[in-house]
Amino acid sequence: DAKTTQPNSMESNEEEPVHLPCNHSTISGTDYIHWYRQLPSQGPEYVIHGLTSNVNNRMASLAIAEDRKSSTLILHRATLRDAAVYYCILRSWTGNQFYFGTGTSLTVIP
């Protein structure tokens, strides 16, 4: 599976939108983009995934660049409970392992 690059940390004000970027310049045409997050003292949890089109669910939105070399996880209104480490992961049809990097640590300021 190809690797991803994320900023180490970001800050956001409470109730403001948050855009978490991820670069994946070596993505292949069939790789899916997954996002997980890890709340303090918990295991990671699934947030969202997509292939080419933008995706929305109850937790977040995923915006995928037209060339698929980058993507952005969007939290529409950050809450204090969104403070976590967010991981961007690529998943292929052939690989059966998840490669977690160090992710982006999001701090939400009240």
Partner 1 sequence: IAGITQAPTSQILAAGRRMTLRCTQDMRHNAMYWYRQDLGLGLRLIHYSNTAGTTGKGEVPDGYSVSRANTDDFPLTLASAVPSQTSVYFCASRLEAGGPTDTQYFGPGTRLTVL
Q: Is 68 in the site for partner 1 (CB under 8 A)?
A: no
Q: What is the layout of strands, in order, in the sheet containing 18-23?
A: 18-23, 70-75, 61-64, 55-56
Which segment (17-25, 28-36, 55-63, 75-83) binds partner 1 by CB under 8 A? 28-36
Give the Cα separation of 100 and 15 in Å (integer). 28
Among 13, 19, 45, 56, contact with partner 1 (rule: CB under 8 A): 45
Q: Is 43 in the site for partner 1 (CB under 8 A)?
A: yes
Q: Is 31 in the site for partner 1 (CB under 8 A)?
A: yes
